[in-house]
Amino acid sequence: MRFDVLTLFPEIFSGYLSQSLLKKGIDAGLLAVHLHDIRRWTTDKHQKVDDRPFGGGPGMVIKVEPVVDCVEAVQKLVEPAGKLILLSPQGKRLDQDLVKELAAEPRLVLVCGRYEGFDQRIIDVLQPEEISIGDYVLNGGEAAAMVVIDACSRLIPGVLGDEQSSQDDSFSTESGQLEFPQYTRPREFRGLTVPEVLLSGDHGEIARWRQEQSYLKTKERRQDLLE
Ligand SMILES: C[S@@+](CC[C@H](N)C(=O)[O-])C[C@H]1O[C@@H](n2cnc3c(N)ncnc32)[C@H](O)[C@@H]1O
């Protein structure tokens, strides 16, 4: 799967992409992340990517020309053109179902905003899917783009050591419930012991216990997922 990320701050991504599962996936050729600095598509000598809002008010707005030019150039780099996503707090809220849909795409083009956000004509011209990672406002779309890349990468075959682990994840089983509690060594810590059933070796009992715990946890914390 290929991700193209359009940003004013490409360096933000380097640490995240060079560690752990994402690095392994990239090294194995299972995913590729291409970073594009929107500023490179400016044509004026000051490389201006933002300007004051018409109508007044605080902050700066991202200009239409460099973003549209950058998206159009990046889309032409390879076939197929990517599904175009604009990260925005005003977009559709990201959840595991949407992650599944996105992970089925061969290519995503992710556009990160900054400052007061985008000139509306960027949206009118490019007609992207706008995606929000939650009802709060970030300084920029880079962290949101990393969330999308990270969540999708778990569903790319081969990225996780064991595919079963993403199938058991919260929101990912058929029932859509939260995952059951997990334990590892030691068996006892400050008087807290691992439930006996997990040490029993009885796989049927373990599966029943996990299903029940999953249900109880979901009922306690996220009744909405059961409805
Ligand atoms: C400070 S925000 C602009 C918010 C904008 N003034 C508004 O109220 O809708 C700057 C950029 O951060 C990104 N961003 C902020 N919050 C986000 C969220 N919850 N999900 C996805 N992207 C977000 C977007 O790319 C946005 O253009």
* Cβ burial 188-218 (10 Å sphere, 16+ → b, else e): eeeeeeeeeebeeeeeeebeebbeebbeebb
- Report how far ligand 1's centroid is from the alpha carbon of 125 (Å): 19
Give the whole-angstrom CA distance, residue 110 versus residue 26: 17
Domain ranges of the chain: 2-153, 170-226
- Report how far ligand 1's centroid is from the alpha carbon of 113 (Å): 6
Local structure of residue 115 (DSSP, 8 states): T
Give the whole-angstrom CA distance, residue 118 versus residue 188: 53
CA proximity to 41, closest of 77, 76, 68? 68
Angle at the Cα of 203 (from 202 to 208), degrees rounded to 5? 105
Chosen CATH of 2-153 out of 3.40.50.2300, 3.30.565.10, 3.40.1280.10, 1.20.1260.10: 3.40.1280.10
Domains 2-153 and 170-226 share a fold: no
The class that CATH gives domain 170-226 is mainly alpha
Judged against a pLDDT cut of 90, whether residue 225 lies above it is answered with yes
| Atom number in ligand 1 closest to CA 90 | 9
With contact defined as beta carbons under 8 Å apart, do 115 and 62 qualify? yes
Give the model confidence (pLDDT) of 31-86 as tens digits. Answer: 999 999 999 999 999 999 999 999 999 999 999 999 999 999 999 999 999 999 99
Give the model confidence (pLDDT) of 153-177 as tens digits. Answer: 999 999 998 888 899 899 999 999 9
CA proximity to 8, closest of 139, 172, 131, 108? 139
Is the full-model pTM beyond 0.85? yes
What local confidence, expressed as pLDDT, does residue 213 receive?
A: 98
- Helices 20-27 + 142-153 axis angle, to 10: 70
What local confidence, expressed as pLDDT, does residue 10 receive?
A: 98
Type of residue numbered 169: D
Smallest CA separation from ligand 1 atom 17, residue: 89
Question: What are the catalytic residues?
Answer: 89, 116, 154, 169
Ligand 1 binding residues, C-beta < 6 A: 87-90, 112-114, 116-118, 132-134, 136-141, 144
Average pLDDT (187-207) is 98
Smallest CA separation from ligand 1 atom 12, residue: 140
With contact defined as beta carbons under 8 Å apart, do 63 and 119 qualify? yes
Say if strands 129-132 and 83-93 run parallel, antiparallel, or are unpaired.
Answer: parallel
- Report how far ligand 1's centroid is from the alpha carbon of 104 (Å): 25
